[in-house]
């Protein structure tokens, strides 16, 4: 099965203020499993920013591949997030997986981040442009996922840069106010928030951490649901399976959902496997 095409417009061009200078690609160390990966450095506003792209084992430069952007949690490097996220195994050669590198291992929107939202969004635009130019990435099939702070940033992309991503899956997301409020309404973005019912670090119901308030999962989805054409403030239980419950907003134009993992806390889930939940959601988007 291939990840489906979407009808969403291509990525917005990088602003002149964030002009990019590219260094040559460098082959990354290969983990067990023999996926091919490359590393690039981009110069943005006098700061070098890196990313690692994991290519399909049968990579064909004449084929256009979906791009899955992957953002680690606070303290995760691109390499350490890749070690546990296993997203390239879940896509099984159907997409290019990009493990993005945050400055000081923290993404914008959180109180501990040293970058602004505009700076990190410009970085992501530059990464997408680079993958499209050098590795046959498809700018009309760009998906984003992440863990904790990275999950909050994936949701922030759908909020603040909706023309950049075609769907997002946030896992155990840190939904600080800056990340998921004052959203732009340029287009609909299918959204899935995956969260443990017993998350003590980023509570399902919201709270206060690192000196700042963060939104609960339901409030976050309702904010994003308004952008997706859903009935305002609507949310209902749609289905329940062993260990999980799915909630969705009403009359949405695109999928807008919560998957609550009932017996888990703050983690990249193993049951169900977070990477496969994310990839399956991306496959559903037509």
pLDDT in tens, 57-74: 889 999 999 999 999 999
Closest CA to 127 of 187, 48, 194, 73: 48
Q: Give the model's confidence band at 3: pLDDT under 50 very low, under 70 low, under 90 confident, else very high.
A: low
Task: Give the DSSP letter string of 171-226.
Answer: ES---BHHHHSS---SS---EEEEEETT-SSS-TTEEEETTEEEE-HHHHHHHHHH
Q: Distance (Å, rounded) from C-alpha 192 to C-alpha 141?
A: 17
Q: Distance (Å, rounded) from C-alpha 111 to C-alpha 103?
A: 14
Distance, CA of 81 to chain centre? 13
pLDDT in tens, 5-59: 333 222 222 222 333 332 333 334 444 345 788 999 999 988 899 999 999 988 9
Distance, CA of 75 to chain centre? 17
Pairing verdict, β 36-44 and 26-27: antiparallel
- What pLDDT is recorded for position 26? 34
Gyration radius of the chain over CA positions: 17
- The structural domains of the chain, ordered by start, are 26-284 (3.40.50.1820)
pLDDT in tens, 88-135: 999 989 999 999 999 999 999 999 999 999 999 999 999 999 999 999
- What pLDDT is recorded for position 57? 86
Q: Give the model's confidence band at 186: pLDDT under 50 very low, under 70 low, under 90 confident, else very high.
A: confident
In this predicted structure, the answer to whether residue 194 has a pLDDT above a threshold of 80 is yes
Q: Distance (Å, rounded) from C-alpha 285 to C-alpha 21?
A: 33
């Amino acid at each position: 099965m291939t990840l489906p095409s979407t009808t969403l417009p291509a990525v917005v061009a990088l602003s002149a203020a964030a002009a990019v200078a590219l260094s040559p690609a460098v082959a990354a160390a290969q983990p067990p499993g023999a996926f091919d990966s490359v590393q690039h450095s981009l110069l943005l506003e006098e700061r070098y920013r890196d990313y690692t792209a994991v290519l399909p084992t049968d990579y064909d430069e004449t084929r256009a591949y979906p791009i899955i952007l992957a953002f680690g949690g606070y303290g995760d490097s691109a390499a350490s997030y890749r070690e546990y996220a296993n997203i390239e195994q879940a896509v099984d050669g159907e997409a290019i997986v990009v493990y993005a590198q945050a400055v000081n291992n923290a993404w914008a929107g959180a109180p501990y981040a040293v970058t602004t939202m505009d700076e990190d969004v410009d970085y992501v635009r530059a990464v997408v442009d680079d993958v499209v130019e050098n590795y046959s990435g498809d700018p009309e099939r760009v998906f984003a996922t992440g863990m904790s702070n990275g999950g909050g940033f994936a949701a922030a992309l759908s909020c603040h840069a909706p023309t950049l991503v075609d769907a997002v899956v946030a896992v155990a997301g840190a939904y600080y106010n800056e990340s998921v409020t004052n959203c732009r309404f340029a287009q609909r973005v299918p959204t899935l928030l995956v969260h443990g019912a017993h998350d003590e670090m980023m509570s399902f119901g919201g709270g206060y951490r690192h000196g700042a308030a963060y939104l609960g999962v339901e409030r976050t989805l309702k904010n994003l649901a308004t952008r997706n054409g859903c009935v305002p403030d609507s949310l209902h239980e749609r289905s329940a399976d062993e260990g999980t419950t799915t909630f969705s907003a009403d009359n949405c134009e695109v999928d807008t959902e919560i998957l609550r993992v009932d017996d888990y806390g703050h983690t990249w889930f193993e049951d169900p496997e977070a990477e496969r939940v994310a990839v399956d959601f991306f496959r559903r988007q037509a």
